[in-house]
Amino acid sequence: MLNRRKFVSSILKISATLALPWPEVHLSGESAVHSLRLAPEPPVEVPADFIGLGYEMSSVATRGLLSTTNGRYLRLVQGLGPKGVLRVGGIVADYARYLPNGPAARDAKNTVITRAAIEELAAFLRATGWRAIWSVNFAQGTIEQAIAEARAASQVLGNSLLALELGNEVENYGKSQLFRAAPYTYEIYRKEFDEWRSAIVQAVPGICFAGPDTAQSVEWVERMANDAAGKIQLLTTHYYRNGQHRGSVQQLLSPDQRLADVLARMRTASLESGIPWRMCEINSFSGGGLPGVSDTFIGAIWTLNTMLLLAQNGCSGVNMETGVNQLGFISSYSPIQDDGNGVNSAGPPYYGMLAFAQGLSGCHQMLPLVSSDLVEGVSAYVFGARGKPRNAVIVNMSLTNTDISLAGLGIDKASVLRLTAPERASKTGVNFGGAAVDSNGNWKPKMKERLLKMSVQVPSMTAVVVRADGSLAT
C-alpha cells in the first residue's frame, strides 16, 4: 500500500499546482427561453442496467466491503437503481490469484480472491439486483488458473455474472505494463484470447465474455467487433478525460473531441456487429482523479453530463470507477467515499449518478432532439418510454442562466429536482431535490417544485431533472 504520509503530501502538491482557480461568474439576471423539440429519428434504447460502478479486484478481497453486512454501502448502491452492473477488475486484476481457501490478500500487486469472497459478493449482488463483470488475470496468470476462477465465479454468482473479462487495458501489455514482449499486436492478442476463451468455454459452457477491455484503443474494439463471430457478447473500453497530473478544471467544463470521436466509432462498431458496448471503466482523471476538482460539485456535474452523453450515443452502460484504486487510496473521483474506518458515504460524483438514475427511472429510451440554439455549455436530454417523452435533464455548465421550454415535448404535469451546491468548488453541501444522502445511505427528495408554464429555469452551474408525474423513483 502507498505510504499515507507520502500520499497526503503528494495530494497537497497536486492540488496547489494543478487545480486552476474557479473562474468568476457574472450572471446576467435575464435569460433567453430555449425550446426543446423531438427530432424525427428513432429513439436510442437505454438498458435498465445502464448504471454501473467499477472496482479494482482488491475490493472483492476486502471482506465486509461489498457485503450485505455493510448496510450503508448496500443502500448507496440500491439508491442508484434496482438494476445495474459492478465491474471488478482494473489493474489489480493483472496481479490477482484465485485460491479457494486462501489465505486472502488485498494488496495492489498481491491480491488473493477466495471462494468466500466471491460468495460474499454474490449475496451483495442478489440483495441489490445488480450483476457483475468479472476479470481474470490474463497478464500473468495461466489458462488453468483462469478456468478454476471462471468456474468458481460462474457457480457462485450464477445469473448475477454478466460476463467474464480476460485482462485489463490489454493493448498496453507490451508498452507501459510490460506483460508481453513488444510489439504486442492485436493479432497476437487475438490468438491468445481465442486460446483462453476456448479452454474456458469447454470447462464452463455458456459463459459470456466481454472485451477487449482497452485503455484507449478503439481500433482493437472495432477489429474484435468485426471478427468476433459469436465469441464475445459485450464490447468494452475505458475513458478518462486526462491523466491526473495533466488535469484541470477547464477540461471538465469543456467538451472533449476525443470522447466524441470514441463514441461515434464505438456506436458504429456496435451497430454493425450487433454486439452491445459498455464503457466499463470511466471517470474524470486517471490515477484517482484530481483533488480539489474531481471531488467537488464540478465532479458531480461532469459525471451527470458524461453519463447522459454516453447514453445518447448508444452506450449500453457505464461503470464509474470507484473506491480504493491501484495505488491503495480512495480515489478523489469516487462516487462512494470511505473515511478510512470503513464508514461509507456519498461523494459529490454520486449525486451526478443519482440525478441520472432519476432521469432514467420509468423510461427505457433517450429521444433525439432537434438541434437548438442552446448556449454553449448547456445540454438537454429527454428520456421516454415507447417513443413518448417522460423526463428531461438539463445540464448548465455555462456562466449564464438559461430558461428551457418543454412545451414542444408535451411535458406539463411534472416535478423539478435540482442538482445544486453552495459553490462549484464545494466538496460538501451537494444536494439533489433539496436533500443530501443521509448517514445511512438513503436519499429522499425534500423539494419537488412543480413545473410552471411548461418551462424551467436552470441557473449557471446547476442541473435539473424534470420528471413526469408518477415516475419519481424513491
**Tell me, what's the pLDDT at 470?**
66
**Tell me, what's the pLDDT at 176?**
82
Residue 239 lies in a domain: yes
Confidence bin at 6 (pLDDT 50/70/90): very low
List, for residues 447-457, the tens digit of each pLDDT value.
879 998 889 99
Give the helix/strand (H/E) hosting 307.
helix 297-312
Mark which of 305, 330, 360 sits at the end of a domain.
Answer: 360
Residue 1 lies in a domain: no
| Residues 280, 137 share a domain | yes
Indicate which CATH number applies to the domain containing 227: 3.20.20.80
| Residues 67, 26 share a domain | no
Backbone angles phi, psi at 375, to 5 degrees: -70, 155
Task: Report which of residues 348 and 447 the model is more confident about.
Answer: 348
Confidence bin at 339 (pLDDT 50/70/90): confident
Res 11 pLDDT > 60: no
Residue 2 lies in a domain: no
| Residues 104, 73 share a domain | yes
Mark which of 314, 340, 360 sits at the end of a domain.
Answer: 360
Confidence bin at 208 (pLDDT 50/70/90): very high
How crowded is residue 341: how many other Cβ atoms within 10 Å of its Cβ?
Answer: 5
Which triple of cell numbers denotes residue 251?
A: 477540461
Residue 67: alpha-carbon gap to chain centroid: 20
| Residues 322, 229 share a domain | yes
Mark which of 329, 360, 391 sits at the end of a domain.
Answer: 360
| Residues 169, 89 share a domain | yes
Percent of the chain with pLDDT over 70: 92
The mean pLDDT value for 50-66 works out to 96
Confidence bin at 241 (pLDDT 50/70/90): very high
Q: Measured between alpha carbons, how far is residue 446 from residues 148, 179, 415, 436, 449 in Å? A: 50, 52, 12, 9, 10
Strands (E) in 176-296, as ranges, are 209-214, 234-243, 277-286
**Tell me, what's the pLDDT at 7?**
37
| Residues 77, 25 share a domain | no
| Residues 426, 314 share a domain | no
Q: Please state which of the ranges 30-39, 158-167, 254-263, 276-285 shows the lowest mean pLDDT.
A: 30-39
Backbone conformation region of residue 80, classed left if phi is above 0, alpha if psi is from -120 to 50, else beta: alpha
Res 330 pLDDT > 50: yes
Q: Please state which of the ranges 9-23, 211-225, 266-280, 310-324 shows the lowest mean pLDDT.
A: 9-23
Full domain range(s) for residue 449: 16-41+365-468
d(CA 258, CA 309): 13
The mean pLDDT value for 215-228 works out to 97
Residue 8 lies in a domain: no
| Residues 310, 177 share a domain | yes
The mean pLDDT value for 235-247 works out to 96
Mean pLDDT, all residues of the chain: 91
| Residues 334, 412 share a domain | no
pTM (2 d.p.): 0.92
Backbone conformation region of residue 470, classed left if phi is above 0, alpha if psi is from -120 to 50, else beta: left
Task: Report the candidate in 382, 180, 358, 210 with the shortest Cα–Cα distance to residue 279.
Answer: 210
Residue 397 lies in a domain: yes
Residue 327 lies in a domain: yes
Indicate which CATH number applies to the domain containing 436: 2.60.40.1180
The mean pLDDT value for 173-202 works out to 96
Number of domains in the chain: 2
Res 19 pLDDT > 80: no
| Residues 376, 262 share a domain | no
Coil, helix or strand at residue 93: helix
List, for residues 103-145, the tens digit of each pLDDT value.
999 998 999 999 999 999 999 999 999 999 999 999 999 999 9
| Residues 232, 158 share a domain | yes
| Count of positions (residues) in the chain | 474
Residue 425 lies in a domain: yes
**Tell me, what's the pLDDT at 471?**
56
